[in-house]
Structure 1
Amino acid sequence: MLYRIAEPNDWQHARQTGFFASADLAAEGFIHASEAHQVLETARRYYAGRVDLVLLEWDEAALATAGVRVAREWVENRQQHFAHVFGPVPLAAVRRSWPFGADAVGDFAMPAGISAPA
């Protein structure tokens, strides 16, 4: 599974249109996604203090079936490979979604049922 920390407006738009897309797809040609073990660090780095986000779980096999290419590419400043999704994500590939945000002290936690090292 792949994970995307999403802006509420992007998720709302996806539910209306049937496809998730975000500003990074238009600007960079792909949607940034994470493996479970990368989500919390991504949240800390790029979404500090946010309480209004949505965490989406995407089925990589469903993306492939829909013809959406996923490539793991090296991200130098993180020293890791990250999944880049080259196209809008059909809602059929979204397995689960959760409200996602920092708690009162600014920490993020993975939803129950997803294990990821801190």
Structure 2
Amino acid sequence: MQYQRPDQSRAANVTYHLAPTVAWDARGTGAEYVPEAFDDDGFIHCTNGLEPLLEVANLFYQADERDYEVLVLDVTRITSEVRYDDPDQKFPHIYGPLNTSAVFGRLTAQRDSDGTFLGFAQGV
């Protein structure tokens, strides 16, 4: 599967959030999104790069049978605080709700019958 790449002019400001489709859809027409784990974690998990996101998906969400999608985020448009708590700065955390105006794309998670995430494609 070939990965979809963001426009290079935006690439430095792009991060990704993996969300169950039902959770993203549940926000309705709201201007903010808060994932299911926010109350426990205190932040929204994001990942810089689709390859690392694929690893994260298979490590933490392979057993979850729900459909998933990837929110493509412009970090410069996120209104809540964004911090890197990891030394390699690959996994930004959003400390507050995600304003949906920062979402400029969505990708569909492609999975195998055993739940393995295979990649992400346009088409949501």
- Structure 1, unpaired ranges of 5+: 113-118
The Cα of 1:14 is off from its aligned counterpart by 2.8
Q: Is the 8 A contact 1:73 1:81 kept in 2?
A: no
CA RMSD of aligned residues (A): 2.2
The aligned counterpart of 1:71 is 83
Count of residue pairs the alignment pairs up: 106
Percent pairwise identity = 22
The aligned counterpart of 1:45 is 59
- Whether 2:107 is the aligned partner of 1:98: answer yes
- Structure 2, unpaired ranges of 5+: 1-13
Q: Is the 8 A contact 1:2 1:33 kept in 2?
A: yes
Say if 1:62 and 1:80 are closer, same or farther in 2 by CA, change over 3 A: closer
Q: In 2, Cα distance between the equivalents of 1:110 and 1:98? A: 6
Match of 1:48, as an amino acid? Answer: Q
TM-score, L = length of structure 2: 0.73
- Whether 2:31 is the aligned partner of 1:18: answer yes
| Larger helix proportion of the pair | 1
TM-score, L = length of structure 1: 0.76
Deviates more, 1:30-39 or 1:103-112: 103-112
Q: In 2, Cα distance between the equivalents of 1:43 and 1:98? A: 14
The aligned counterpart of 1:110 is 120
Q: Which runs of 4+ in 1 moved over 3 A?
A: none
1:46-65 CA-to-partner distances (Å, cap 9, x unmatched) read 121546111111110001xx
The Cα of 1:107 is off from its aligned counterpart by 4.0
